[in-house]
Structure 1
Amino acid sequence: MRTHGILSVVMALVLVVMCSGSVSYADISPAPCSMSEEDMDAALVTRGYPQAVLDAMNPKAKESIYYNSGLTFNAACIIVYDEETGRSQDYAIQAGQPIPYGQIPASDLGLAWVISNDGEDYLNVQVSYEWHSTPVFRFQDPIALSWDGSEFAMVDDTFEKTDYYDDYRIDSVTGETALSSENIHSRETGYAQGSDDGVVWYADLKGGLSIANLYGEASVTLEKLTLASGTSQMYGVYAHSALPMGAGIVLQGSGAFTVTGN
């Protein structure tokens, strides 16, 4: 596997995106899901997804995997950030291997990418981020994924990302305040930067005083370019801007996944 330079590619792409112009977005009404999160988890566990991985994903990211019935679990990387200590920790999880960690701790910001087998020739990568503590500064945070470009290629027109928010709204008739969930702030099928080795896009964080939760998901399909079996590595970075042109938090992690030859 060609690992040299992959992580540097991720960081370079993030820096390019952070210094570039912003993209446009618009709020969209929420699309309700008829299945409970508990039932969705139970169904995904039967397809090999560990409960620890599902617990680290926001419901909309899990929903995307659930409705693609051909996907089965391969590997995942989970990164958690604690605002009080300023520290992050990443956890790599592979199919068929015991999870050597205790309970993954609660966090102020969680990031996870889940690699799924999509038939024999493709992999699906689902990314989930969730702010459990609403950040003061909310701009456009770049997220990057990088893989070995000699082993995998991003399939055209398969990338898509959506940013959500929950907020409190006052009923104009009753005056009561209620939580409105799964509102879409941004939905796009384009990305900010891409190369043979990776892709970068923005997480658009909704501003305003009434925001209760911020979260989002993205997915992309990779085609295998190798007939060999073994393991490969995927890297990820989330850079949160504390100022319009600066990064206040940078989360990064990596995880191995299985490559099966044909």
Structure 2
Amino acid sequence: MTDRIKLVTWNINSVRLRMPIVEQLIEEVAPDVICLQETKCPDANFPENAFRKAGYEHMAIHGQKGYHGVATLSKLPLSNIEKRDFCQVGDSRHVAADVPFNGSSIRLHNFYVPAGGDEPDRTINPKFGHKLDFMVEMLGWLKGEETSKPAILVGDLNVAPYEHDVWSHKKLLKVVSHTPVETELFEQVREAGGWLDAMRQFTPLDEKLYTWWSYRAKDWSAADKGRRLDHVWVSQPLAPYVKGTTVLRDARGWEKPSDHAPVIAEFAI
């Protein structure tokens, strides 16, 4: 019986380019399940052999050439794999699968929500409109039957919802990822499904919590102008089994890093 799971979610920003640091993560953290976003490669070119060699025999991959892409790699069997096309635009931004746990299974959703471009106005920036429409579709789906059972939703959700999820609440209120229209809709999605923000269960709301630091800063760590764009949500039936979450901040400083750090979540009976 599977009574313990260690899961990592990470926007890897090209899985083939950054396979060396994925292998470093595997060596240091030894997760049972890895959820990657922004893999940026079609399914046929995904580095399956490297993952198999590392012990991840089970894969749910939804990729496309050069853009987007999500992949769930697991040491545990995956079943009922589902790939949802949000907004009917053909983007690879979601994959779901069942993972065995506690004599039953967990429904695991892996998401890469659109970033939304630079201008928080859908009339002049269609990318922002796409992001809002994507979240509205999430709102309509990820509740009721989807959350009445043990479920996890992870990924780069591209919204920093709370005041201390960004380096400056005041300065970022008009910056995409922290605008009120985004944060309010984001919370509607979470609350409608009764999802628990697992990361904030272990880091109080008045403490800064980041998972992303821009490449633009010369010294990202010293500047520390971060945002929490990556999330771990759990459904109410799974809430008692969340044992901890950790942002692996050091990984942002590894060789040829992603601009996101991995988030580790642990579940146990």
Do they superpose with TM above 0.5?
no
TM-score by length of 1: 0.30
User: Which protein has greater RCO, CA pairs closer than 8 Å, 6+ apart?
Assistant: 1
Greater C-alpha radius of gyration: 1
TM-score by length of 2: 0.29
Q: Which has the higher strand share?
A: 1
Q: Which has the higher helix share?
A: 2
